[in-house]
Amino acid sequence: MSNSRVVADLKKIAGMDNVKVSEPMRSHTTFRIGGPADYFVTPQSTEHIQQIVKYLKNRHIPYYIIGNGSNLLVSDNGYRGVIMQLYSRYSGYEFLHDDVKSAADKAGIVYIKVQSGMGMMRLAALAAEYSLEGMEFASGIPGSVGGGIMMNAGAYGGEMKDIVVRATVMDEDGNVRELDNRELEFGYRTSRVAAERLIVLEAVIALCPGNQKAIREKMQEIAQSRRDKQPLEYPSAGSTFKRPQGYFAGKLIADAGLKGFTVGGAKVSEKHAGFVVNTGRATAGDVVELTNQIADKIYQLYGVKLELEVKKLGFDER
């Protein structure tokens, strides 16, 4: 099937402005790394997502979902297929109460239904605006709600599993269903969404009425702590490795003397050894070489197997 035919069909479904060709993935990842995706689509409705999934399945065209690309390393060759980004163009929300303020005044739980492209930081800011607590932990996590559910993102004592009541998901055939919190099978930085290659479309989030000043103070404390400890001045994908049972990846890497260890433009942060940063011109190849060398060294020294938390896309697996 010709390239121009696919582009025309995708534009017909998603709209002219929502389809790009040979789109550099470095523009859509917080690592600022990644070659071109053949097609890059930003659907704005659930119907469009469903039509695209069915269209691609019928034509055996591979696709991959991203949110803000904040946990993603895309290869230098890019991706042969369609990247479907569910982020700011698919980020509506509604309170599941007629009047959120009166619900909050009655000290009841407040439910917010969000499309999966809603940023977790934006949702935390919205929660604070309405004096709702429970979302503060996510105020510095630069991903989407969909990516957060897929990864069961967490920080500072909170995780997505604590606040997600249920999610609407789509399978690879385009079938839509709801999964409740238990059915989402959240684990450490994973969920059923990952295991079954589901697409998170929407989620219902439960938050509790709280004290706005206290909520904002907690968010500021978290932001300050992140600024103090994390290399936010460099592009990265957050923690590079998962926490191995009984250890902290960053501590093992620091203890191994690997702070500042560099391959090409990829470097182990001097500020937080759990982060690999892009010092400016890192390639995906640099990051892969660096992380392989780190993992080998940590295994040699401590017998601990480090597993990447960052998702790799467009590579032949090692």
Ligand X SMILES: Cc1cc2nc3c(=O)[nH]c(=O)nc-3n(C[C@H](O)[C@H](O)[C@H](O)COP(=O)(O)OP(=O)(O)OC[C@H]3O[C@@H](n4cnc5c(N)ncnc54)[C@H](O)[C@@H]3O)c2cc1C
Footprint on this chain of ligand X (rule: CB under 6 A)? 30, 64-72, 86, 116, 141-144, 146-148, 150-151, 153-155, 193, 199-200, 232, 236-238, 311
Q: What is the 3-state secondary structure (H, E, C) of the chain?
A: CCHHHHHHHHHHHHCHHHEEEEEEHHHHCCCCCCCEEEEEECCCCHHHHHHHHHHHHHCCCCEEEECCCCCEEECCCCEEEEEEECCHHHCCEEECCCCHHHHHHCCCCEEEEEECCCEHHHHHHHHHHCCEECCHHHCCCCCEHHHHHHHCCEECCEEHHHCEEEEEEECCCCCEEEEECCCCCCECCECHHHHCCCEEEEEEEEEEECCHHHHHHHHHHHHHHHHHHCCCCCCEEEECECCCCCCCHHHHHHHCCCCCCEECCEEECCCCCCEEEECCCCCHHHHHHHHHHHHHHHHHHHCCCCCECCEEECCCCC
CB of 124 to ligand X, least distance (A): 12
Nearest in space to 40 (alpha carbons), one of 1, 75, 76, 10: 10
CB of 210 to ligand X, least distance (A): 21
CB of 244 to ligand X, least distance (A): 16
Indicate the residue among 97 and 226 with the shorter CB distance to ligand X.
Answer: 226
The CA distances from residue 38 to 19, 31, 41, 60, 140, in Å, are: 10, 20, 10, 14, 31
- Give yes or no: 307 in active site: no
Which of 23, 136, 159, 309 does the annotation list as catalytic?
309
CB of 66 to ligand X, least distance (A): 4
- Give yes or no: 89 in active site: no
Indicate the residue among 154 and 314 with the shorter CB distance to ligand X.
Answer: 154
Indicate the residue among 68 and 131 with the shorter CB distance to ligand X.
Answer: 68
CB of 303 to ligand X, least distance (A): 26
Which of 91, 116, 189, 269 does the annotation list as catalytic?
189
- Distance separating alpha carbons of residues 257 and 160, to the nearest angstrom: 33
Indicate the residue among 227 and 305 with the shorter CB distance to ligand X.
Answer: 227
Which of 75, 91, 239, 269 does the annotation list as catalytic?
239
Indicate the residue among 19 and 74 with the shorter CB distance to ligand X.
Answer: 74
- Give yes or no: 239 in active site: yes
Indicate the residue among 125 and 232 with the shorter CB distance to ligand X.
Answer: 232
CB of 187 to ligand X, least distance (A): 12
Residues marked active site are found at 189, 239, 309
